[in-house]
Amino acid sequence: MVHLRRKPVASSSQKMQNPIAKAVSRAKHSSFYHDLSLRGKHPLRLLGTPKDLWPGSVTAGTQMVGGKIIGAGSILENPDNAQNIWPGGDVWLKTDFNDKWLEHLHSFNWLKDLNQAVDRTSAKKRAEELVETWIDHNTQWGEISWRADIVGVRLTNWLVYAPLIMDTEDIIYRSRILDILARSARHLMKMSSDLPERPSSLNAVAGLVLSGLYIPNGDDWLKKGVALLKTTLPKEIFDDGGLRSRNPHELLGLLMMLVLLRDAFVSMSQNAPQELNDSIDRIAVNLRSIILGDGKLPLFNGSYIQNHEDVFSSLIKITSDASSFDKRVVNDLEKSGFSRIENENTVIIQDVGPPAEFELSGSCHAGTLSFEMSSGTQRIFVNRGTASFAQGVLDEDISDVSRSTSAHTTLTLNDDNSSEIRSDGLVGKGVSETTSTRFIKNGHILLESSHDGYVDRYGMRHKRLIYMNDLGDDIRGEDILEQTGSIDKDISKSYSVKFHLHPNVSAALSAGGDVALLELNNGERWKFRFRGAKISIEDSIYFGDTGKVSQCRQIHLTGDTDGPLTTILWSLKLQKKDD
């Protein structure tokens, strides 16, 4: 049995930087003296540019050439323009975006998409326009724009896409970019002794390493960056290749960055530290272990799907010899808190871990014990995904809704989240311990898991059993609420078990109302049966595909607890063509 425990919120929150420390840091880095310390020798050129193996979206790039701003597939609304066009550098004049948008804008991650625009001349013009106006408005310290991890990502993107943003005869403009690159490296050097212990700090370290490799006279930056890389990687990446934040999309982004670093060392005839190569190998195994049949990530803890991005194909890119590609997977990622059940064409990925530790939980969801399932390349059961970039576009609370327990394929008790989504965006009290055990016999698999998220409030523990037969065409499950304390033991509580369906899955109840009939785009038909609850099929919303808010359906089982043990049975079986 695997036990995972989350650090108590109270003790974990003590590690958070207090307001006074934040104010002191803000005053220090926004001071004239800090600005003065960033001055130094002005580089006249770059020694080269790193190469990014993963292209952006052509569609998003084309939209950006037309004046729109795209983040995770979503369009940034401009209240002053009906077509959501941001002329010139107007986007840098607005300060009321949510943090996700501000981080995306100031990191310049959108250059990846703009670089893919078909109209290269117009793409260069738009890139230069946005870079120059950013310099006009952001050379002074800003809480997000000059945060160490954002500086590291921006510096990386400016180096990678230097051919896009610096291919000009405007010497003054080029000189300003080179000056900001050097200032950014000096800023990271000064911040390097006080980087927070969190995965995002690796972005700052990467920026420092790349500065040392590609900016003249950067030997000290490289030496410091490599030293930090060696010590930070083992702290932030689990032995099984997972990330402390438990966000699969952040893990994929980290892999891309580490591969870029590895290749940069090679291209500049430098030796990459062994810790870097080891981390890449571990992360690759982890990602292979959690992708579904469509080759893409599951929707846990802020992860989302980019349709142009096939994770499996991306993993092949990092091996020099595709024929030697390691297809190995780990079914139980014991540190990361994910389990894989797979037979034939059917894959189930389940979240069997508690939320990330308190200070790293900003993107975590209250979805413990939820799962996603695919048949071949078709997703069937899903979680609703993240709406972080849609916040302020649809509804101010839509991001929290997408993080709620009911937005996941799992059980909700008394219409309450299994873990608290706090007003500051962090995940508070709730699930602190999970267990999971795998049983295998003759190819048949049973995964038993549990969490304590409802124990303190309602005295009940949620257990979930998922069984898959050896052919992968017969799935059975049990959701069990077990009384573990005396809290309101004589008062029944409502429960809700939701099975969110991918938008490409249609659903209808049988005439008798005791079976849900599911049909996939490829013609596959599955029958969903249940016992111990009432059933309905309802409309829902899916945020999983970037840039889309899609209509979908959900199977909804409801009822009330009954005594010390309440069991809800359900099953899903593939129908033969002649059935």
pLDDT digits (tens, 9 = 90+) for 378-398: 999 999 998 866 544 444 477
pLDDT band at 19 (very low <50, low <70, confident <90, very high): low
| 130 falls within a domain | no
In a domain, 292, yes or no: no
Tokens coding 478? 């049990």
Read off the pLDDT of residues 440-463 as tens digits, 9 standing for 90 and up.
999 999 999 999 999 999 999 999
Separation of alpha carbons 181 and 156, rounded Å:
9
DSSP 117-158: -S-HHHHHHHHHHHHHHHHHHHSS--TTTT-HHHHHHHHHHH
Is there a domain that residue 386 lies in?
A: yes
Residue 257: how many CB atoms within 10 A of its CB? 20
Burial of 356 (0-12, 13-18, 19+ CB in 10 A): buried
pLDDT in tens, 125-153: 999 999 999 999 998 888 899 999 999 99
Q: What is the pLDDT of residue 391?
A: 45
Nearest-angstrom CA–CA distance, 51 and 67? 26
Q: Which residue has the higher pLDDT, 393 or 122?
A: 122
Give me 335's structure tokens.
Answer: 């540190």
Distance of CA 578 to the CA centre of its chain: 41
Displacement of CA 520 from its chain's centroid (Å): 27
- Determine, yes or no, domain membership for 1: no
Which segment of 291-305, 323-337, 504-518 scores lowest on mean pLDDT? 323-337
Distance CA 135, CA 141 (A): 12
Residue 230: inside a domain = no
Domains held by the chain: number: 1
Question: Is residue 73, in this structure, part of any structural domain at all?
Answer: no
**Which pLDDT score is estimated for 259?**
93
In this predicted model, what pLDDT tens digit does every residue of 356-386 receive, in sequence order? Answer: 999 999 989 999 999 999 999 999 999 999 8
77 vs 508, which has greater pLDDT? 508
Residue 393's pLDDT is: 42
- Exposure string for 463-496, b = 16+ CB within 10 A, e = fewer: bbbbbbbeebbbbbbbbbbebeeeeeeeeebebb
- Does residue 124 belong to any structural domain of this protein? no
Nearest 5°: the CA angle 106, 112, 115 is 120
The whole domain housing 427 covers 351-574
Q: The CATH number of the domain where 455 resides is what?
A: 2.70.98.70
Residue 374 lies in a domain: yes
